[in-house]
Structure 1
Amino acid sequence: MHGLLRRLFAPRWQHPNAEVRRQALHRLDPDHREQRQALASLAQDPDSDIQLAALLALDDLEGLMAAYPAHQDDTAWQEALCQRLSGQQGQTALGQREALAERIDDTKVLNALVHKGDNLNLRLTALARLTDERDFIEHACHNGVAAVRHQAADRVVSEEGLKQLLKKARRDRQVVRMAKDRLQERRADAEWKEAQQQKRETLLQQLEKHAQATWEPLYGGRLRHLQREWEQLPQSPDPDQEARYHQAVLACRKTLHDHETHEQARQQNNQQREATDQTREQLLEGLEETLEGLRLGNGLTAQDIDSLRAQRQLLGQRWQQLSDEHPPSDSMRQRYTRALKEYEACIEAWQRWQHISADLEQALADADHSAMASLLDQCRWPDSLTMPTLARQAQEALADAHETADTQNDAQSLSAYNNDLDAFAQLLERGAFKSASRLHQRLKPRIDALKGDDARPLKARLKQLGAQLAELRDWRGFVAGPKREQLCDSIEALADDQHMADAALDRHHRQLVKEWKSLGDAAADRELSARFRAASDRIHERLAPWREQLSEERAANLRAREALCEQLETLIAQPAQDADPDVLREIRDKARQQWRHHSPVPREQAEAIGRRFGRVRHQLQSLIDTRAEHIADQKKNLISKVQALHQDERPLAERIEKAKQLQQQWRQLGRAPKGEEQTLWKAFRHECDQLFARRDAHKKEQLAQQQRQLDSLQALIDEMDSWQPQDARDHAKLDAFIEQATHLEPLPLKRRSEGMQRRLSGIIRARRERLNRLEVADTVNAWQQLTPLIEAHLRADQRRLVDEQADTVDAQAVLGETTLTAPFEQAHHQRNQRRQETLPEAHEASLKDQLARLRVHLSLLAMGRVHQQDEPLRLAIQVERLNDGLQKERSRAQEVSEVLADLIALGPMPRSLWDQEVGELDELLTQLARTPPP
């Protein structure tokens, strides 16, 4: 009711009649704020002409642009947009018009802007948005601005377009000249591309020939040269050439890879052997250093022995693992055995010491010298090993006791020392420096240890003779000393040089040793000799594997050549019936490489093994030729089978699959003789290509069918997009559209198909939503037509509540020809029946709650929200809707119909209660009855 009053007293620009709104629009002033708001509202009017007039009155170019896509087929809209964008009408700034022109996709509007724009930049902006070459030709020939003509002519690139431009462009010589120059450039480019294509073809043939060749030292360089030539060509290859190029390069790289794999395996084996020897050397040096530390330490302890045992266990485990990988050399094995012997001697001495240590400690405490001597003799401690602290203390105690006893015998030894000094003097007179030096080293500590006045003459004479020995040493070292130091420095530098080859190292070492021996005893002392010897030993140890390798290498090479000949002889004696000649050729080539690799061999066996290998190689080549001829016959048979497939009656897919199987058999057969392989391959490939050409034609037919299918679906989508349901009964038309789309399925698996399906789903969803809203509006309109019936029920309810008179309302008498739908008719009968029933005490409160519940339900359906005070009812209603949705599916129109039927059936209804709620119910129903815009 209230909605009707509002429509009666609304402004004229809100009138339901479009003509009235149009007349009212012309009287609105956009400079007035309220009237400008009215114009803004009319800019959203469903009537196209009113919407356009409002936008033009507002001079809203942005809004005109936003609404144009929905009216782009309307010439009035198109003309208005062109005039506003080109600056012929309106007050829009140039910068804004240029920004809007960059967003336009409509070709007609863009062409109009290029022709009629009031600014060069605006015309060029519109021209940049065009994509059709026919538009460029039109503007290049007929546009009134030279800059636009030249810019359009510059974007004509196709040969046909340039010819048309040259024919039509008569008014602008520069455009004609640009077209001529561009055509000449295209012809020159075509000739240049042809030359580059021919050059690429030549390179491809060379590369494919190179891919079929066997490996040689210059194989990789030749491949790199051909690749460089290919990459330097500026013209891009076509897909077929690119595929052939990559296939040939892959074949060449496979040949290189096979060779490199073999070399890498050999190098890796050598590196692994060197790493194993180095690890073994480090482990052995660690044990030797530990043993050396035990010899030079202050006192042996249990911790030293435990550490030695742990290191020995680790060495044993790692030595066995490394020996399983690569056996050690003889010198390394000897060092290992020597170190183990020293370890065993050390452990045995320590075990003996453990048995006597407690007794020796007791004897040392009791000062029992005889027991100490006996226990030390029983221990038999090695002289080269550091003694434990307790044993050294016992030995020092015994030495002190012996020193006391030796003092008594000094007198007897003076005469013997005099004789030794006489012999020392004689050695000095003869110049025997080494013998004199050894005797002086033995006598000096003993004579210096003598005490008493009787020993003074001996000490004085020893001192005099020692001075003569030093003079002799100086005289000998005057010449030989610097030379020896130089030789020591040279040999130490040679030992430290880790980069010199073994052969050169051995040669320099021999020369230095020879020069050292030539010096004899001159200027030789322990330090220099030790230095020279230590450096020489390091070199010997370093060269030991090399020397062994020199002798073993020739024997190993001979054994390897003999084994190679035996393998080839075994292969030739028992050849496989289906031996692949390619494999045999690979065996032949690898045999040649191995033969060259295993060199040199002992001279006395070289000639005999060479004759043996030549004979075997000749027999292998004969076997290869025989197998290649057999494969040629098999390949000819395959060509005949492919030719027979052309006349076969089976489906094309089966014949293609059979051709692929024959191709697989071709690849598995190997190569025919060198001159015949290419001829057979060309014939076989030609026959297969003819079959594949039929397959490609079939695929093109399928693609064309799929394209037609997509085009049909696109046309259906466009038709559905342009169709807008105007009545709720248009469900049948939507179902017909969906059935047509179903007949076009299945779609090909393409990105376009996915996009079209998504668009189709969106359109169907939108149309169903619109139909649902139209159905809701029809339901509400049907309910609004029942206003007299509702009033009759209210009057009857009022009489029932006042005087207990239960009247029955006759719907046919009240409505006349208006018919009731099934839900509303049932609700009408329920209303009459409830009026006959006895009213409960809280009848009005119950009605109030039920009416509020129905109002909240309608509010949810109309606006999707309720007032804050109605929030508990909203939650309860939503729970009921969810439960009902699980049992059965209801549309929005059905739900609205059920709520309105419940509203009719609600009674007896007091007039006051109805008047409280009817206003809001009317607003909600007005919103539900509003028809969605098309």
Structure 2
Amino acid sequence: MLQHFRKPKWRHAKASVRRQAVEQLSAQEGESEALLRELACSDEDAGVRRAAIRKLSDLELLRKRMMEEQDAGVAEAAAVRYRQILTGGSGDADLQLRIEELGHCSDVRVIAHALRGGREEALRLAALERCTDESVLADAAVNDPVARVRQAAVERLHSQPALRRVMERTRQGDRKIFRLARDMLQALEAAETASQARAEERSRVLQALQALADRGASPSAAELSRLENRWQAVAGDAEAEASGRFGDLLAAAWQRHRESLQPRQSPQEPPLLAQWRAAADSGRPDPDQLEAVLQALAEAPSDDVPDELRAEAELARRFVTHRDSLRALIRSAAAKETDAGSRDSMEALMDELQWPSGTPRPRTLLDAMAALEQARQPEAEPSGRDQRYAALQERLQGVEEALKEGNLRGAQRALRQARDIVDEAPGGASAQAERALKRYTARVAELRDWRRFATLPKQEQLCEQMEALVGAEMPPPELAEAIKSLQDAWKETGGSDSPESRRLWERFQSASDEAFEPCRAWFDEQARQREANLAERERIVEQLESFLERVDVSGLPTAKLIEIRGTAREEWNHFSPVERRAGKALSRRFEGLMDRLTERIRTEQAANRQRKEALLERAEALPEIEPLAARMDAAKALQAQWREIGPAPKAQERKLFRAFKAACDAVFAERDEARRTEQARQAENKAEAEALCQRLESLAEAESVDAGEMRGTLDETGAAFQALGPVPRGVREGIERRFEKAAGQVRRRLEAARAQRQEQAYEVLRRRAALCAELEAQVMAGSSDPAAIEARWPEAATGEVA
């Protein structure tokens, strides 16, 4: 019945006993699993918690211990066990459960580990969705054994350096991944170039507006509309600060434009002027509001009407006059009843109104303009006419896009093509086409005038900068780069057809030729260097061909072949650049030879992979070998054999090595645990030995101790000291000397006590002998007193005899 009261080992006071108990538990048993969970979370000893964690397979609990554990060693053990189970390297956890657990994990190291070492394709794909580390994604794009995973990894890359690394590492291997990475890199570069171009265009627009503000100029409405259109074309990714600055500059420019058209006379402006201002400043004045203002103007004395209102009053009068016609055309357009005659009437009305672009438009006028745009959509026409119309619309759209971008030459070219289409049309151009050409011709002319105004100072500045490079003391590469940069900047100005721009171009070109003269010798030297590099590459190819012809590469170790291939590639890359055309055929020869080497390396690596897989199976069977010392010897032998085998294919090599290392590490972890247990036991023995030494030392220093008790204690501690197990090697001799010294002190004290007892006994005998002699003398004298002698007899034992 005593077993019911015996405390289980996992509740033992000694941590080493609890650790041994944990080693005997199995997580596959329900009761044991609950016990392991409890010990992993709440045991006070870090070693016990670590041992329990190594037995668990609960991913959620392992993740919590990994994140919440205070002891670094225990947290690391939880992380190792967590990664091991999550990737499928241990245990039999369901794949779907592991994928779901991966979705809860935020540790980037675990995600990277799952992506690199996950056993199943689905797990690695799930890790891909969570991975944000570009270097890990790039490795997966190159090394994952499944093409779909490699492709998904490439598609998640968003940085140019990572894509370049993938291209470099797959250039001679996975061509599909190489092309995908190349296409994505080109798309990123194109997007970056486009973004930079948009930023530069925004900068140019802001500079133009700032220049207008600095001069206090009153720009035309067309000029401001062009600047606004240019900004809107590139405003998608503009920063808030730039957008705010543009809005402020544009609003100020429009204000200066309105002030130039409608100068205020004085603070006390006439009531009619104030009434008109209120109508105009409303943004889109109501037709009835305009009519009321016109009526007031008509009835007012001529002296009360300021001169600056007469032009605007005439504009409003024309609108009111044609308002009913505009409304009728709007209704026709809404009812889909417009024909060629209706469109021509609408075009004629718009031409007659001639409403300035910078002046707010009434709502009716805006609706009419929208109806006109709708009516301009082509109707079904004969095939030839339809094609000409489509071609004309395409050219006019090209003019519009070029104008938005500020591309003068593109706009001029598209406008000429549109004019050619109209001129070649049988029966001449339609009124609609002529009006469109007229509008775009005027806008192109405005852009040309603006370009001349805006680009001539820039071109003058570029001429001065190019002339400053003439005779400049700069290294030839930097000088050539500076010249090219100025030439690119000239191209960005778009040029101009004006005589001034042509003269500046000739000046710029002359300075460019003169500045480039010192670079010619440097470029000639570069050409000679390219020829020398080409000769060196020919030497490398010949040596490689000779080596492959006369040496049986099948007898060389894989590592040696890889070294030869790497050295050849390193030397080939060193002798660069070469003339592209001349080096192309040589490059094909070199790559062919490298392919032969690579094929042999792959064959050897495949054989190495099979040998290492066999070693891995033996390593995974190590737990079956008993005892631990035999397991360790077997693990060391397997490691020695592993080192003798050459490398396997890179992707499999890493995976095999990780699994092999994990199997061997498990054996050495057992050794380490046994060593820690032994160290703990020796530490306990040391503490107990020190306590025995202290006990004897205290006994030797005690003032009054019974000799029998002292001898008993000496014998007891001596027996306990002899029964102790091993202690740490470095302290054993010191403890033994300390114990012997304390025991010697106790023995000497015992000897001194024995000698003192003997001396006391001799003294008693001497005194009693004196009493006997005294009694004999009395008897001889005839005057003996035996009673007195007898009374003094006990006193002789205490040393008090007179």
Same fold flag (TM > 0.5): no
TM-score, with length taken from structure 1 = 0.27
TM-score, with length taken from structure 2 = 0.31
